[in-house]
Amino acid sequence: MFDSVRSRLTLWYVGVLALVLVAFSVTVYFLLAAFLYDRLDDHVGTLAEETGVSFIRKMKDGEPETKAAASALDEHVGPRLAAAIFDREGKLIADSPGPANYHIQWLTPDFIPESGLDVYTLPADKASGVERRIGVSNASLDSPPKSYVVVISQSFDLVTSELKWIRLILFLTVPVALALAGLGGWFLARRSLKPVVEMTEQAHRISAENLEQRLPVVNSRDELGRLAATFNELLARLDDSFALQRRFMADASHELRTPISVMRTATDVTLEQERRSESEYRDALKVIDEQAHRLTRIVEDMFTLARADSGRRALQQNDFYLDELMLETARAAGVLADRKGVSIELDELTDIPFHGDEGLLRQMVLNLLDNAIKHTPPGGVVKLSLAQHNGDYNVIVSDTGVGIPPEAQSNIFERFYRVDKARSRASASDAGVGAGLGLAIAKWIAEAHKGQLKLQHSDQTGSTFVASLPSKAEVRG
């Protein structure tokens, strides 16, 4: 039961409320008791004083002592009180018995003030069995000089019974209030946590197959709404990345199928006849070799990207000269360029020390050069140069090729994206046709070095790619 937030919330709520109510009740009870005792003291004190004053006035008016005392008591003493007037020696002048025929006895000297008025508590006596509060007042006559003691007494039972009632009310109302508050708290907690229950149920239903589903957002401004919205954003990201993975798988299998089917056709056609001439076998093997190369390249590219995605391709950094790397790469690409009748121009470069992954950067420049040569007609020029800009080294590859159509320019860095798929596949026998991964890999390499790769410009006169690499970047790896 305590495993549910709802029960814990309710218990906490009731617990805190119980503490507050008990503290409040105890305080109210004691304040009220003090007030009631004060009022009792006031009552007996004032009455003793007033009765004394009235008794003396009557005597001054000429009434005999006993009669004056009896009528003063009569005038001032109510039914719940007992009263008596004594002279200083303890002789009873007059008395007015209280409930249950209670008569006030002469007091021990402890209970008689020297002068004026005082209030005391009389311990319970055998007859009545209750404690009493007494107001004792001195009253004196000037001529003939004589002193009297007026005593007014009331038992505590009225105050005690009032307090008993208050205790009863508190004992009854506090638990009832707590029970009601607990019930209310339980329903409130249930209501507030209802979206959580709904979210849990909905989250249970979501799996890789239906990642497009979302959690219900009841109120997007409260905490639970924000939680649901955040969870939904997470789902959206997961959905996107699953979709990307699925597309990657579909594209990859598609790309792998083409060379394999070309190879199978070549073998099938060759093996159809019992005997073939040597040149026919050579031609078939050439086709198979080209496709095997193509397969190798696609698989290697996919492997590079997969390791980049999983973060397992750590950069192997070392110090080298960027100008040397560019020179060597241009030389390597020269073979392909010569075959195509395209010339490669490389700027005269000074020594440029650099720190990074030499192998990956070589692949990046080679991919860019490879693309440039592939898309430049014979007689064209591919230029490789380097510029320094705001602490970055800009490796620039420009060509005088066919250019990239404007509508395709934003997609060329996507995986498996090729501008003209139909044309590429039609000429799939050409092992140089890539799978559309070259620029994706080049871009990742630039970004892994805290840099970026951009298509600066492209039209019918040619294209220019710029890879900017921070010269002093703390690259990850």
Q: Using CB under 6 A as the criterion, which residues of the chain lie in contact with ligand ADP when the complex forms?
A: 367, 371-372, 375, 399, 401-404, 412, 417-419, 434-440, 463
| Whether 318 contacts 358, CB under 8 Å | yes
Q: Which is nearer to ligand ADP, 98 or 401 (CB)?
A: 401
Other beta carbons less than 10 A from residue 118's beta carbon: 16
Q: Which is nearer to ligand ADP, 278 or 407 (CB)?
A: 407
> Could you tell me which of 416, 465, 462, 410 has the C-alpha nearest to residue 438?
416
Q: Which residue is nearest to ligand ADP (CB)?
A: 434
Give the CA-trace dihedral at 345, 350, 354, 360, to 10 degrees.
20
- Least distance between ligand ADP and beta carbon 374 (Å): 7
| Whether 349 contacts 323, CB under 8 Å | yes
- Least distance between ligand ADP and beta carbon 419 (Å): 3
- Least distance between ligand ADP and beta carbon 435 (Å): 6
Q: Which is nearer to ligand ADP, 99 or 405 (CB)?
A: 405
Specify the DSSP element, H or E, that contains 86: strand 82-87
The token duo for 170 is 């508190």
For the chain, how long is the longest CA-to-CA vector? 167
Rounded Cα distance between 133 and 349, Å, is 115
DSSP 102: B
Q: Is 136 left (phi over 0), alpha (psi -120 to 50) or beta?
A: beta
Residues 199, 204, 208, CA angle at the centre, nearest 5°?
115
| Whether 357 contacts 428, CB under 8 Å | no
Q: Which is nearer to ligand ADP, 181 or 368 (CB)?
A: 368
β-strand partners of 319: 355
Q: Which is nearer to ligand ADP, 104 or 437 (CB)?
A: 437
> Could you tell me which of 372, 342, 340 has the C-alpha nearest to residue 456?
372
Rounded Cα distance between 181 and 391, Å, is 69
- Least distance between ligand ADP and beta carbon 309 (Å): 16
Q: Which is nearer to ligand ADP, 58 or 375 (CB)?
A: 375
Q: List, as one string, the DSSP characters of 212-235.
A: T-----S-TTSHHHHHHHHHHHHH
| Whether 442 contacts 453, CB under 8 Å | yes
- Residues in contact with 465: Cβ distance below 8 Å, sequence separation at least 6, in sequence order: 368, 371, 372, 396, 397, 398, 453, 454, 455, 456
- Least distance between ligand ADP and beta carbon 257 (Å): 16
Q: Which is nearer to ligand ADP, 396 or 419 (CB)?
A: 419
Q: Which is nearer to ligand ADP, 86 or 444 (CB)?
A: 444
- Least distance between ligand ADP and beta carbon 418 (Å): 3
- Least distance between ligand ADP and beta carbon 437 (Å): 5
Rounded Cα distance between 359 and 331, Å, is 16
- Least distance between ligand ADP and beta carbon 464 (Å): 9
- Least distance between ligand ADP and beta carbon 431 (Å): 12
Q: Which is nearer to ligand ADP, 152 or 372 (CB)?
A: 372
| Whether 321 contacts 353, CB under 8 Å | yes
- Least distance between ligand ADP and beta carbon 410 (Å): 11
Q: Which is nearer to ligand ADP, 90 or 377 (CB)?
A: 377
Other beta carbons less than 10 A from residue 46's beta carbon: 15
